[in-house]
Amino acid sequence: MRYKFCPLCGAELKDKEAGDDGAVPYCKECDRLWFDTFSSCSIVLVANEYNEIVLLRQGYMSDKYTSFVSGYIEPGESAEETALREVREEIGVTLDSLEYAGTYWFAKKELLMHGFIGRAKKCELTLSKEVDAAEWTPAKDVVKTLFPKAPGNAAYAIYEIFMEKLK
């Protein structure tokens, strides 16, 4: 998001040259540059010892099992802390390990997604109210219901990394 007005004093911002960054919205009153902002989230492929992956069904996205656990990073959290917290909150699983699996830009939502692969022992899933349903799904079957490979589809990219590691 590009600022038009100062979030502190409400004055209209004027572009100011800021070195290598070029023209940046600037508040003269507050003597402050307002760089473009975006949201950040973590998204986690959760797999068990049988290489089954947790797929979530979330009605607002699709009636199929299309997604992995994900959530916005809160101020003060690292992407890793968000990943662990969201997995605990959404499906009631405590991960044994967490491995970084790249970052993905989701243009439609101006969202930088931090990808992870998490490992846990197979267990009953305890769902939060945000999740309509979730299932352990054999890794090879996951691709059948994921959204197609496309820029910004972090789930598919992380799934490819996971499958590559299984070879």
Q: State the residues that interact with Zn ion by CB under 5 A.
A: 6, 8-9, 11, 27, 29-30
The least distance separating Zn ion from the CB of residue 110, rounded to whole angstroms, comes to 23
The least distance separating Zn ion from the CB of residue 20, rounded to whole angstroms, comes to 24
Report DSSP state, residue 12.
B
Residue with the CB atom nearest Zn ion in the bound state: 6
The least distance separating Zn ion from the CB of residue 13, rounded to whole angstroms, comes to 8
Pairing of strands 23-27, 32-33: antiparallel
Q: In terms of CB distance, is 23 or 61 closer to Zn ion? A: 23
Contact between 46 and 68 under an 8 Å Cβ cutoff? The reply is yes
Token pair 């044994």: residue: 96
CA distances from 38 to 67, 122, 139, 161 (A): 22, 35, 32, 25
The least distance separating Zn ion from the CB of residue 27, rounded to whole angstroms, comes to 3
Q: In terms of CB distance, is 11 or 133 closer to Zn ion? A: 11
Q: In terms of CB distance, is 26 or 65 closer to Zn ion? A: 26
Q: In terms of CB distance, is 6 or 158 closer to Zn ion? A: 6
| Of 35, 24, 28, the residue nearest 11 (C-alpha) | 28
Q: In terms of CB distance, is 11 or 143 closer to Zn ion? A: 11
User: Rounded distance, CA 22 to CA 51, Å?
Assistant: 48
23 CB contacts (<8 Å, ≥6 apart)? 15, 16, 17
The least distance separating Zn ion from the CB of residue 19, rounded to whole angstroms, comes to 21
Contact between 117 and 99 under an 8 Å Cβ cutoff? The reply is yes
